[in-house]
Homo-oligomer: A and B are copies of this chain.
Amino acid sequence: MFEAYWRANGDSCTTVILGWEQMSYFASRKHFLWFVEQELENEIRQLHSLVGNAVTDGRFIVVGTGSTQLFQAALYAVSPRDGAQPASVVSAVPYYSSYPVLTDYLKSGIHKWAGDAANFHLADSSSSSSYIELVTSPNNPDGSMKHAVVQGSGPVIYDLAYYWPHYTPITAAAEHDMMLFTVSKCTGHAGSRIGWAIVKDAQVAQNMAKFIELNTIGVSHDSQLRAAQILKSISGRLFHFGYSEMSRRWDLLQQAVKVSDRFSLPEFSPAFCAFFGQVTSPHPAFAWLKCNRDSDCKEVLKLGGVLSRSGVQFGVGPDYVRISMLDREGNFETFIARLSDMAAASLASTAASYQEQML
């Protein structure tokens, strides 16, 4: 979706790397965040100060190979080292479908997936009650604003990948202990694999750096250099472009859905956005679509030529699916056309079955 913007406005962020530059593993030999390029760190702080979506003062910026790596680094950083039991990792449904597999693919003995945070109850014994809560806000898949729900004092990892003005009103600067962001959802540069965490506690930041050292010996310095250049070139214009584009796409989606009652979408409330200085509407990066009559929504959409991810993967029923709203324009138009057909076909078949009943 952002490609059109960068084609029109990308002149200031061409990246040039000479053959003998960026050769070392190290950006700095003095700091425990030895792989973080100072220039990128500065641009990240500036960007948050421009947008007002997160507090960075007095906090560490841990750069990672996308927020996926940072998520795993954060889990590692707050999991008990000497615990007999792995920490229970929980997130309220519908949760991001990758959380269970990212937590468990190595059958780790320090953390294990434990499902819906709303159903998680701390055990009486403190030794077995260690947990980590994951909160994505705005939420992936459904776009709602989320908060921690477990009644406890365990660590909470906030994935704020979508907390940018094109997706949702910026109502306040977030100031949680651990917050994850990624270039891909801010500017569209997913291919660079650059994300960052804003971390309050020095020991947690140090543990995350250790994970990134073990996992990939730091983070591509070519990509860090490029990300710095891209973030530097961000002005309000990117978010205005993003907002109007998402607004147009959501209008098309809502028009397609409302021709029948076959599908429905979540409701979102407008709010005052401190960045735009006016009331704006949420425009999530995903359509969280409900099939009101069909039990297997993914299958229905597939028959209609639309690929989606089933609600089952997000911890809820197969009557929900998630569809990206950020695809290239051509793909998005195809999606809307096919969804419209399915919604209208449903109308025709309702009329047909009504007629049958009359006969």
Give A residues with C-beta under 8 Å from B. Answer: 2-3, 6-7, 9-20, 22-25, 65-66, 68-69, 72, 76, 86, 98, 101-102, 105-110, 184, 188-194, 211, 214-223, 226, 230, 233
- A66–B223 Cα distance when bound, in Å, is 14
A347 to chain B, nearest CB (A): 33
Interface centre among A10, A107, A110, A230 (most CB of B within 10 A): A107
* Nearest 4 CB-CB pairings of A with B: A10-B19, A107-B109, A191-B221, A6-B20
A19→B11 contact, CB < 8 A: yes
A16→B19 contact, CB < 8 A: no
Residue of B nearest to A216 (CB): B65
CB-CB under 8 A from A3, the residues of chain B are 20, 23
B226→A17 contact, CB < 8 A: yes
CB-CB under 8 A from A192, the residues of chain B are 22, 220-222
- A15–B225 Cα distance when bound, in Å, is 12
A251 to chain B, nearest CB (A): 25
A19→B23 contact, CB < 8 A: no
A215→B218 contact, CB < 8 A: no
- A350–B217 Cα distance when bound, in Å, is 43
B22→A66 contact, CB < 8 A: no
CB-CB under 8 A from A109, the residues of chain B are 106-109
CB-CB under 8 A from A101, the residues of chain B are 214
The one of B14, B16, B191, B194 that contacts A23, using a Cβ cutoff of 8 Å = B191
CB-CB under 8 A from A66, the residues of chain B are 216-217
A72→B233 contact, CB < 8 A: no
CB-CB under 8 A from A105, the residues of chain B are 76, 211, 214
A22→B191 contact, CB < 8 A: yes
A217 to chain B, nearest CB (A): 5
A19→B25 contact, CB < 8 A: no
A37 to chain B, nearest CB (A): 10
CB-CB under 8 A from A12, the residues of chain B are 19
A312 to chain B, nearest CB (A): 19
